[in-house]
Structure 1
Amino acid sequence: MPTLLGKTLLIANPAAQNGRGAVAAERAADLLRAALGDDALAVEFTKRPHHAVDLTAAASDYRTVLALGGDGVIHEVANGLMRLAAEARPQFGIVPVGSGNDYARTLGMSTDVDKAVAQLLTAEAHPADVGTVNGHYFVETLSFGLDAAIALDTVERRKRTGRTGTILYAEAGVDQLLHHLFARPYRASFDGGAPVAGESIMFAVQVGPTYGGGFRICPDARIDDGLLDICIAHPPVTIFRAAVIFLAAKFGCHTGFKQIELLRIRKLHVEFDEAPPAQMDGEPIESRSFDVAVEPAALRVLMPQ
């Protein structure tokens, strides 16, 4: 079957999975060159934070840009693509070599390099929504409060220990539940409506259904419906009940708890009394006030047939 990749730029994070990204990139490049030809593939390794953004923003001459690494490099490549005019924006694919791999789950991509490349070679491009927050873009998840603190703590634990996997997220979750179970007052306007005051333990805004390495926080979220899914956990909640909800979210079974509020929106303005822990696709974002919206069908994303 002929491939639709065309002239391709592979942007790889060599530090992904504690240095295994470089080996994975060489393997992926060999497979892609064998299928596309030497002249059809260029490979760039990221050398600093935000390097992938700059590389992608200069890639309008390519038909396809592939991100190899974890959710961080995927996030950066998506932000680089969004710097380009829509008509000059290459199609977007991923070779997941990360620890959380949430966007890979959403797209149905294998975490085995050989299988992922095979999927890309026969993939079709599908329209995918992108979220925006304070001038940044996210492809899967944005969150404030406890869940963001867990995600950021997981990243630090990964850097410190070299360990990977969902168990790391669970460990960070237990620690945050025991020591940082705070209710954070907020005022929010959904889709331009009147401001609503509330308190949240966690406040997640999703393009896709999962975060934290497969926790199905918004199990019905879709990347092609032009909407953002929101999950808010409200107080009061004991440590035990919070732990039960947290564990249930792994399988998307938390939605029936009375503390959980689910919404679908196109835009959101939310302000907190103090700057909360906040993350977008696992990357920190600092502010007290957030303007959030969805850009429907902003990317053409390669997905397995």
Structure 2
Amino acid sequence: MSLLGRVLLIANPAAQSGAGDAAADRAAELLRAALGADAVTVARTAGPRHACALAKAADGADTVVALGGDGVIHEVVNGLMALPVVARPQLGVIPVGSGNDYARALGIPAQVDKACARLLHAKVRPVDIGCVNGEFFAETLSFGLDAAIALDTMERRKRTGKSGTVLYMASGFDQLFHHLDERVYRLQLDDGPVMQGASITFAVQMGPYYGGGFRICPDASLDDGLFDLCISNPPIGPVGAAAIFLRAKNGNHVSSPRMEFHQARKMRVEFDEMPPAQVDGERIEASVFEAEVMPAALRVLQ
């Protein structure tokens, strides 16, 4: 028996260069065939932040399904987290994006038919949600080179219509060889001492993945109540950085002496100047970032 109940399907029709529109029709057809025609309402987003507003108004639904990439999931999560816990619908994901890192962390297939079948037979998993400077995130927060690559990838996607790991790697090598900047930071984890250092990359993860499948924090779990941090320390030249970058695809960078890893329930990091920064692929601007894990804050279908 399906646990979906009344479904609000929030779809980004522009996902994958317009493929989201047909994907929304197909998902609605499959879900209605299983649940009944009146059980599924489809809402297409019209622009930035619309998915957040739609999810925030979904307190009459049992399940909100986000159809699109990590960006629409990010917005839906922020809308759901604005609702009281007792009125907060559970979250389902149908990945139709370029990175699909949150779906990958959940093990959701990237094909619409398979994702719908998975949802119809899914179990509920309470998962953690991160919050940074008042904004919630499902999978990733990063600063410096990682963020610059993620943000540049979005611009390249808009220009070229291409997507996926190949696009991320093209952006990555461009940034590695032209923008290998050091960022001085002061970091406090939980109530520990303030640590000062410099970083090339600085990722704060809920789950293992960013950049379309790079296992930047291979041991990260969505339900352990902890952030996983991965920081690369200078000096690193372009060739060495490129080698680490390639190894990170499969999580093999963890043995590099230039990498350090931490876990924490909360963190505060201050940079000497505003770094490139992104949260679930969306730009965030600040020089001080205060983040905290919200344990088991959201029920997700997996």
Q: Where does 1:19-38 land on structure 2 (aligned, <5 Å)?
A: 19-38=18-37
Alpha-carbon distance in 1 for matches of 2:233, 2:47: 38
SS state at 2:5 partner: coil
User: Alignment identity in percent?
Assistant: 62
Aligned partner of 2:189: which letter?
A: F
| In 2, Cα distance between equivalents of 1:69 and 1:191 | 34
Partner Cα distance (1:195, 1:106) in 2: 31
Q: What's 1:253 paired with?
A: 252
Q: Which runs of 4+ in 1 moved over 2 A?
A: none
CA distance in 1, matches of 2:118, 2:254: 33
Corresponding position of 1:210: 209
Secondary structure of the structure 1 residue equivalent to 2:217: coil
Aligned to 1:15: 14
1:20 is paired with a residue whose SS is helix
Aligned partner of 1:56 in structure 2 is 55
TM-score (norm 2): 0.99
- Whichever residue aligns with residue 236 of structure 1, its letter is P
Q: Deviations over 1:156-188 (max 9, x none)?
A: 100100011100000000000011001110011
Deviations 1:17-46 (A, max 9, x none): 000100000000011111111111111000
AA paired with 1:135?
Answer: G
CA distance in 2: counterparts of 1:205 and 1:251, whole angstroms: 18
Shift of 1:195: 1.3
Q: Displacement of 1:193 after TM fit?
A: 1.7
Aligned partner of 1:139 in structure 2 is 138
Deviation of the 1:87 alpha carbon: 1.3
How far 1:302 sits from its partner (Å)?
A: 0.4
- 2:41 is the alignment partner of 1:42: yes
TM-score (norm 1): 0.98
- Residue of structure 1 in register with 2:151 after alignment: 152
Counterpart in the other structure of 2:106: 107
Q: For the residues of structure 2 that align with 1:223 and 1:87, how far apart are their CA atoms?
A: 21
**SS of the residue aligned with 2:210?**
coil
Deviation, 1:192, is 2.1
Residue 184 of structure 2 is matched in structure 1 by 185
* Structure 2 unmatched runs, 5+: none
Residue matched to 2:95: 96
Which secondary structure does the structure 1 equivalent of 2:255 belong to? Answer: coil
- The CA RMSD measured in Å over matched residues stands at 0.6
Aligned partner of 1:128 in structure 2 is 127
Query: Secondary structure in 1 aligned to 2:125?
Result: strand
Per the TM alignment, residue 194 of structure 1 is displaced from its structure 2 partner at its CA by 2.0
